[in-house]
Structure 1
Amino acid sequence: MSVLIQTKQSLKGRLIYTGFQLIHFVKELALSCIFPAVIFLSLALTEVLPLPILARYDWLLIIFLVMQWWMVRSGLETADELKVICLFHIIGLILEVYKVNMGSWFYPESGIFKIADVPLYSGFMYASVASFLCQAWRRLNVRMINWPAPWLVIPLAFMIYLNFFTHHVWLDIRWILLGCVVIIFFKTTVSFHIRSEKYQMPLIFSFILTGLFIWIAENVATYFNAWQYPNQQEGWEIVHVGKVSSWILLVIVSFLIVAGLKRVKESRCDKI
């Protein structure tokens, strides 16, 4: 009987501990999502509230710029993280200009701050992915185990990004690239900390989870007219599930860039 009581108490203790760990994990992820959360809240509010003087897309740009300034000023974001976010803004904006002019999607509203029919705020949606990765990396003390050699990682990231452009005029090799990702990162795991406890998960699994999350976020964004796909002109429809593969590839590119920059910074710190 005493053994049974001790077992029940031990099980109860483990469940309570797991619950605290989960709460802490969710809290850290929520803090890492501050910038993406502001983006979605801004999309929703500017869709339903009357806006003076400027067009909605211009207000969104101003809101996101102010938010970035505040995050750095308040210490929620470091100067190095801001540099990464600016890089992703440029990478995303270039992709947006190309995709919009190829007819993949479009921005239905007017605005002053536009380049080739693409509002400048759109780059922040890519930057928000980088913001989340950088914040989560720091808050959860993320480390890579069995990270592949740079001569494999760098060309893979370049080919994935390039395929977003070339598949319009050549073959779409996304499934070949996803196969390469599985082969190259099959042994790679992500190590992260929740309080003092260390956990691990396969890197490929984290790619899939993040890609699914962004696809869900994309449905919310298109619902609030952040942009529209051709089939959504007559009314909102759920984004085709096939887009998940595109978002997984984008997450992989984002992760590889952030991981590469983190490793460069760590190597420099080791030499000091």
Structure 2
Amino acid sequence: MEAVRRSASVGRRLVRLDARIARRARHLGWPGVLAHEFVRFGLKQVSACLFGGLMVALLVASWRWYPAHAALSRYDFLTLSALAIQLVLLATGLESREEARVIALFHVVGTAMELFKTAVGSWTYPGPSVLHLGGVPLFTGFMYAAVGSYIARAWRLFDFRFSRHPPFGATVVLAVAIYVNFFSHHYLPDARWLLFAALAALFGRTWVHYRIRRVHRRMPLLLGFVLVALFIWLAENVGTYTHAWLYPAQRAGWHPVPLAKLGSWLLLMVISYVLVSAVHRRQTPRRGAASAPVAANRRQR
């Protein structure tokens, strides 16, 4: 798509601009370096959110301007647009093949859950479509894939490292349990509070080390999960406001998605994270191991 090509061109220009700003920032001392890191952090976040941001923009644009009686339905337009974005990201090198494989897997995982959730009435898609499975338009899988795309791109752009990271096998068990609970809680007691406890036990001591410029900073990984879940919740409000999908309580009139949904998105974040970490697990330090950036930071300061 032309919008993605322009984004790639803008991205290259921003890289050149960033290099010039970095040279000037060094002459201003620590205030200049701090300001440069803040700007660079924002630019990296924008780049990591490229796929998700374009999808949200398409939701708004198609709701506001897409012809109601067009031969191609709005949902099918969104599906084809999402596919085009994905292909352009690969063609321009903004997304690696390994990242695309993980995102495709998450697309399948998300669509399977959508089929079940719409069947039991958790939410609905009010518009018509040709490209659908059951009552689920195919663009919805790309909305789930956008979460995986963000994590994969942020991991690469910020050069993620970890300390006190739980074993990969334990994270897989937790992710599977979370996914199963999304289905089973309709028939069995909801185990989400046990899953929250397991999440805290596994990741409560984990730090993610991220590099904005030269030095790795750190933050609790759980905090990162919560912040990303918050932005997904905001995007879901956009989706329901534009009538891309609706919860039963929103059929009579739109109102914000309940904050309680943050918990669901937090748990979904774990599934996304584990799928992406499968690509990087050879670089993930063992549990309790010292993080490589810690020593590196001391040398660079």
Query: Please, what TM-score do these two structures have when normalized by structure 2?
Result: 0.82
Structural mapping, 1:142-157, within 5 Å: 142-157=160-175
Are 2:36 and 1:20 aligned?
Answer: yes
AA aligned to 1:182 is A
Structural mapping, 1:214-253, within 5 Å: 214-253=232-271
Task: Kindly state the Cα deviation for residue 227 of structure 1 after the two structures are TM-superposed.
Answer: 0.6
Q: Alignment partner for residue 67 of structure 1, among 85, 93, 98?
A: 85
Unaligned runs of 5+ residues in structure 2 are 1-27, 286-301
Are 2:52 and 1:36 aligned?
Answer: yes
Distance 2:245 2:155 in 1: 29
* Match in the other structure for 2:10: none
* Match in the other structure for 2:147: 129
Does structure 1 conserve the Cα–Cα contact (< 8 Å) formed by 2:66 and 2:74? Answer: no
Task: Kindly state the Cα deviation for residue 188 of structure 1 after the two structures are TM-superposed.
Answer: 1.1
Q: Quick one: percent identity of the two aligned structures?
A: 36
* Match in the other structure for 1:49: 65
Q: Alignment partner for residue 139 of structure 1, among 157, 164, 187?
A: 157
Does structure 1 conserve the Cα–Cα contact (< 8 Å) formed by 2:165 and 2:203? Answer: yes
- The runs of at least 4 consecutive aligned structure 1 residues that moved more than 2 Å come to 12-16, 264-267
Does structure 1 conserve the Cα–Cα contact (< 8 Å) formed by 2:108 and 2:141? Answer: yes
AA aligned to 1:252 is V
AA aligned to 1:135 is R
Task: Kindly state the Cα deviation for residue 13 of structure 1 after the two structures are TM-superposed.
Answer: 3.6
Q: In angstroms, what is the RMSD of aligned CA positions?
A: 1.5
AA aligned to 2:63 is E
Q: Alignment partner for residue 193 of structure 1, among 191, 211, 218?
A: 211
Q: Secondary structure at the match of 1:63?
A: helix
Are 2:185 and 1:167 aligned?
Answer: yes
Task: Kindly state the Cα deviation for residue 266 of structure 1 after the two structures are TM-superposed.
Answer: 7.8
Task: Kindly state the Cα deviation for residue 31 of structure 1 after the two structures are TM-superposed.
Answer: 0.6
* Match in the other structure for 1:8: none
Task: Kindly state the Cα deviation for residue 144 of structure 1 after the two structures are TM-superposed.
Answer: 1.9
Task: Kindly state the Cα deviation for residue 264 of structure 1 after the two structures are TM-superposed.
Answer: 4.7
AA aligned to 1:53 is A
Distance 1:119 1:254 in 2: 21
- Listed one character per residue, the Cα deviations across residues 224-261 of structure 1 (whole Å, up to 9, x for unaligned) are 11210001111211001100000000011111221133
Does structure 1 conserve the Cα–Cα contact (< 8 Å) formed by 2:60 and 2:238? Answer: no
- Listed one character per residue, the Cα deviations across residues 14-45 of structure 1 (whole Å, up to 9, x for unaligned) are 33321110110110010111111110111111
Does structure 1 conserve the Cα–Cα contact (< 8 Å) formed by 2:233 and 2:262? Answer: yes
Distance 1:15 1:160 in 2: 44
Distance 2:84 2:274 in 1: 28
Unaligned runs of 5+ residues in structure 1 are 1-11, 268-272
Does structure 1 conserve the Cα–Cα contact (< 8 Å) formed by 2:161 and 2:210? Answer: yes
Change (3 A) 1:265 1:141: closer
Are 2:108 and 1:97 aligned?
Answer: no
- Listed one character per residue, the Cα deviations across residues 98-124 of structure 1 (whole Å, up to 9, x for unaligned) are 001111000000000111100011000
* Match in the other structure for 1:115: 133
Using the TM superposition, name which of 253-262 and 81-90 deviates more: 253-262
Q: Secondary structure at the match of 1:213?
A: helix
